């Protein structure tokens, strides 16, 4: 669905219109082929690049076609169950008199913009683009902060971690890899845009753009650090699990040896042949004492060597 937003510095609030105008911000959610055709006609956008905006697995990149700059990146969102975090593509096209954003599903980082809560002016194209990117990076920061809390919570209780927690850490690991894959190329084209003549930057815009680059670098570093922490937790958990399994197997093996002693001795004295002490009235107690003695010796040996 296509929505046209417009606001100048003289307007009190963001307005929506049925038709485009100079200085408009065009937002498209869940675009259809007809929506793309309308955009291509109204703003002379490149149809092949617009087609890429419909690919859910599109990678972050920057392109320029004619007088329009196309910025592809990805934003984080939580799945409906609130347990998994994924990323989805967003395309921002900045032309001489318009800004176009295209998303394939609801974008949390755009909520304040679309509701009018965020104080923006659509006629200031470069500033609007930078504020959109700032909000997108803030959404990454919030997701990283939530994941960081959960990871640090589990880091201090390795011995009580359950399989469900490990599954959650694996989900976080996948999410962090997706975030890094999105943030690193985004940072590359941000630097390219700031150093080139692709957009018209005013003095305050340049400062905001440099802040975005710094923030993006910090997010990449934070994501990599958190990813390393998760990997360390998983490695430590695997080591503890392996050690616990080895101890259990060793203990069971030792107990098997100990319990084999009475079985073997009793089997020998239970044979239907002539055996020593067959006529001795105290033979039973002699066998019991013999079994206890052998078992005690073996138990002492295993205990001394920490097998039990």
Question: CA distances (Å), 202 to each of 80, 113, 193, in order?
Answer: 40, 22, 13
Q: Is the pLDDT of residue 81 over 70?
A: no
Residue 3: predicted pLDDT: 94
Question: Residue 230: exposed, middle, or buried by beta-carbon count in 10 A (0-12, 13-18, 19+)?
Answer: buried
Domain boundaries, the chain: 2-241, 246-304
Tell me: pLDDT of 76 over 90: yes
The Cα–Cα gap between 229 and 234 comes to: 9
CATH superfamily placement of domain 2-241: CorA soluble domain-like (3.30.460.20)
We find that the CATH architecture of domain 246-304 is Up-down Bundle (1.20)
Strand, coil or helix: 200: coil
Residue 24 has pLDDT above 80, yes or no: yes
pTM of the entire predicted model: 0.78
The pLDDT of residue 157:
67
Dihedral sign (CA 170, 176, 179, 184): negative
């Amino acid at each position: 669905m296509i929505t046209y937003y417009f606001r100048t510095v003289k307007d009190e609030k963001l307005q929506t219109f049925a038709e485009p105008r100079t200085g408009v911000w065009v937002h498209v959610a869940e675009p259809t082929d007809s929506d793309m055709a309308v955009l291509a006609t109204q703003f002379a956008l490149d149809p092949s690049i617009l087609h890429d905006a419909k690919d859910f697995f599109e990678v972050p990149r920057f392109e320029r076609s004619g007088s329009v700059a196309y910025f592809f990146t990805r934003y984080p969102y939580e799945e409906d169950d609130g347990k998994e975090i994924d990323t989805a593509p967003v395309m921002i096209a900045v032309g001489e008199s318009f800004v176009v954003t295209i998303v394939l599903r609801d974008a949390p980082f755009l909520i304040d913009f679309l509701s009018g809560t965020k104080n923006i002016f659509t006629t200031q194209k470069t500033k609007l683009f930078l504020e959109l990117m700032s909000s997108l990076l803030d959404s990454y920061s919030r997701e990283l902060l939530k994941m960081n809390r959960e990871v640090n919570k589990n880091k201090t209780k390795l011995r009580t971690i359950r399989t469900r927690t490990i599954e959650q850490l694996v989900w976080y690991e996948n999410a962090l890899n997706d975030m890094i894959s999105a943030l690193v190329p985004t940072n590359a084209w941000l630097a390219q845009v700031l150093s080139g003549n692709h957009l018209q930057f005013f003095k305050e815009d340049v400062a905001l753009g440099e802040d975005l680059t710094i923030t993006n670098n910090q997010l990449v570093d934070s994501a990599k650090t958190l990813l390393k922490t998760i990997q360390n937790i998983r490695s430590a958990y695997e080591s503890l699990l392996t050690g616990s399994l080895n101890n259990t197997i060793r203990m069971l093996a030792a107990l098997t040896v100990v319990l084999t002693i009475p079985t073997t001795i009793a089997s020998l004295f239970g044979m239907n042949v002539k055996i020593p002490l067959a006529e001795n009235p105290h033979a039973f107690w002699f066998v019991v004492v013999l079994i206890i003695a052998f078992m005690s010796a073996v138990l002492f040996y295993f205990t001394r060597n920490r097998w039990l």
